[in-house]
Amino acid sequence: MRSWRRWRGQHGEQMAVQFLQRQGYRIQHQNYRCRGGEVDIVAWDGPTLVFIEVKTKGQALFGAPQAMVDARKQNNTSYRTSTSVLMSWPSHSSPVCLLK
């Protein structure tokens, strides 16, 4: 069961990457992990660095995918992970950021 979920999650992330690339995003990282957490995709949308959490669901029976990323996940994990990415940037070239 777990391998099926992992495959479906990876497949969903690949579909998201392909979609984002078609929309003109430049993918910086996939599955970026740090001490503070993990973010599925870090990408550039023009001059803006975007942090993207991907949720893949087979059916909407238990709610919409966006409901799976609650406020705690948005505020804690994404914030700490994005801070880790930004800390690696030279201070003179820090990008504008957006959490999605």
Domain boundaries, the chain: 2-99
Average pLDDT estimate for 94-98: 57
The predicted structure's pLDDT at residue 95: 59
Report pLDDT digits (tens) over 32-65: 877 767 788 989 999 888 888 888 776 666 667 6
C-alpha 91/C-alpha 8 separation (Å) is 38
Contacts of 46 (CB under 8 A, 6+ apart): 24
- Other beta carbons within 10 angstroms of residue 100's beta carbon come to 13
State the pTM of this model. 0.71
The residue behind tokens 């690696």 is: 88
**Distances in Å between the alpha carbon of 84 and those of 34, 42, 53, 74?**
7, 12, 16, 15
> Candidates 3.40.1350.10, 3.40.50.300, 3.10.20.740, 3.40.50.170; correct CATH number of 2-99?
3.40.1350.10
